[in-house]
């Protein structure tokens, strides 16, 4: 058994070591519908027992700047990680939303209650008084079903018994419409459904979450889905950085992938760029450069490198080209509603492929750098420990390293890891 377990772990570790490096992050996606010339809106309470709660949750969603970004669950040997985006300028709070107190005041003046029990004409009239462009209203309902089941079981002594379980499912449905206040016409409609289930057995069945509380969970999901219909949102995306199949760059590619794992894209880029410049027919390097630009929302540059990779190997990389073409279209849609993702670029480094050396100790330590490869030579400077330097050449027991300001000097190998 131990041998089998050891073999499994060994194969797993080999698989992990040889696979490509994935980077998980969130990218901004456009809504399903663009509300032209709509910047200020109000949400009336939806009809139904949970109608007020749903409308309030939708308002909260509209105020969120990074809606959709959430904590990422950890996989095998991984802990949970904070969700993040590398896109600058991307946001989801694109509307001005009328405060609830102001809405209640107008409703009171017109002898109406904020229950959603108003017709389209009344809703449009309310919107005109509030000075908004569109008003949102709708209905919501929920139902539940408890399903009993009996399962034959065997205890530790081999005795059989019957386990009695109950599965509770709550389903909520919402219907939403968006009215143009100026014309009184419906400019958008959406129906959404959300379900949640829970199962418990034997004496734990009495501990099933109450139906109303489970319906509350559905309301949160419905609010997110409904707002997605007319508002941009961040979606989870996984970018795969490929293993560079050129043994001359094996170590540097590994270094770049370590930077990616740490989320330091600016350090990974010059390495992949230098590999590509040295080996322009390396499709993996071109694809990785495309990924780096794709992640930050510079879709034109991403397309440039995806096209190069696809030209080298069409069967392997055409999907990346199609994907970035869609993203360019999405980017234009986002711009039309005032969301402009900054076109970030990366800095190149002429020494990106140069070998590096790192001093021993910690930052408080200091090591002498000599003018010549000789202990008796003039000391040029003292450099800190635990610091990386570009290696220019090796001379016996000395390393010639690059210093600040373009200077260079020799450090003894005994001071280097």
Residue 312's φ and ψ, nearest 5 degrees, are -75, -40
Kindly report the average pLDDT of the chain as a whole number.
Answer: 90
pLDDT of residue 232: 95
- CA dist list (Å): 187 to 136, 218, 229, 389, 391: 10, 26, 12, 61, 64
Element (H, E) at 341: none
- On whether the CB atoms of residues 357 and 413 are closer than 8 A, the answer is no
CA atoms within 13 A on the CB side of 221: 15
Per-residue pLDDT tens for 172-187?
Answer: 999 999 999 988 899 9
188 and 109 in contact (C-beta within 8 Å)? no
- CA 400 to chain centroid: 42
Reduced to 3 states, what is the DSSP secondary structure of residue 224?
A: helix
Any idea which residue has 């969120």 for tokens? 64
CA dist., res. 332 & res. 196, Å (int): 36
pLDDT in tens, 39-80: 999 999 999 999 999 999 999 999 999 999 999 876 555 667
What are the chain's domains? 22-235 (3.30.160), 243-336 (1.25.40.10), 356-415 (2.30.30.40)
Over residues 347-364, the pLDDT tens digits come to 998 888 888 899 999 999
Could you tell me the pLDDT band of residue 119, with boundaries at 50, 70 and 90?
A: confident
For residue 257 the two structure tokens come to 């992938």
Q: Is the pLDDT of residue 330 over 60?
A: yes
Write down how long the chain is.
417
Dihedral (Cα; 124, 125, 130, 136), 10-degree rounding? -20
Q: ∠ CA(37), CA(40), CA(41), 5° rounding?
A: 110
- How many Cβ atoms from other residues are within 10 Å of residue 13's Cβ? 11
Q: How far is residue 211's CA from residue 171's CA, in Å, rounded to a whole number?
A: 10
């Amino acid at each position: 058994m131990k041998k089998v377990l050891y073999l499994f772990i060994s194969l797993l570790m080999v698989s992990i070591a040889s696979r490509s490096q994935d980077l998980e992050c969130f990218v901004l996606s456009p809504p399903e519908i663009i509300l032209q010339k709509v910047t200020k809106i109000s949400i009336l309470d939806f009809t139904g027992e949970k109608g007020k709660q749903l409308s309030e949750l939708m308002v909260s969603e509209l105020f969120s700047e990074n809606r959709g970004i959430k904590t990422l669950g950890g996989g095998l040997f991984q802990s949970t990680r904070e969700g993040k985006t590398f896109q600058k300028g991307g946001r989801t709070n694109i509307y001005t939303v009328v405060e609830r107190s102001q809405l209640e005041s107008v409703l009171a003046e017109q002898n109406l209650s904020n229950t959603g029990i108003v017709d389209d004409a009344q809703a449009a009239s309310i919107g005109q008084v509030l000075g908004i462009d569109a008003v949102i209203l709708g209905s919501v309902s929920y139902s539940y079903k408890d399903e009993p089941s009996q399962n034959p079981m065997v205890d530790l002594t081999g005795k059989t018994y019957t386990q009695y379980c109950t599965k509770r499912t709550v389903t909520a449905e919402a219907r939403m419409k968006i009215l143009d206040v100026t014309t009184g016409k419906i400019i958008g409609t959406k129906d959404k459904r959300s379900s949640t289930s829970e199962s418990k057995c034997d004496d734990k069945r009495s501990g099933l979450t109450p139906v109303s509380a489970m319906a509350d969970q559905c309301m949160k999901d419905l609010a997110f889905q409904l707002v997605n219909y007319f508002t941009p949102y961040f979606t989870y995306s996984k970018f795969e950085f490929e293993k560079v199949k050129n043994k001359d760059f094996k170590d540097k590619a590994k270094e770049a992938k370590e930077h990616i794992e740490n989320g330091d894209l600016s350090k990974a880029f010059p390495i992949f760029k230098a590999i590509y410049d040295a080996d322009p027919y390396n499709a993996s390097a071109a694809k990785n450069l495309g990924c780096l630009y794709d992640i930050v929302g510079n879709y034109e540059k991403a397309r440039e490198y995806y096209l190069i990779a696809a030209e080298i190997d069409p069967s392997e990389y055409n999907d990346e080209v199609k994907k970035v073409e869609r993203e360019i279209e999405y980017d234009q849609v986002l711009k039309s509603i005032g969301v402009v993702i900054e076109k970030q670029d990366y800095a190149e480094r002429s020494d990106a492929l140069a070998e590096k050396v790192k001093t021993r100790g910690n930052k408080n330590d200091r090591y002498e750098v000599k003018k010549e490869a000789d202990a008796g030579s003039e000391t040029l400077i003292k450099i800190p420990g635990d610091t990386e330097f570009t290696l220019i050449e090796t001379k016996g027991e000395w390393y010639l390293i690059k210093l600040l300001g373009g200077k260079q000097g020799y450090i003894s190998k005994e001071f280097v890891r």
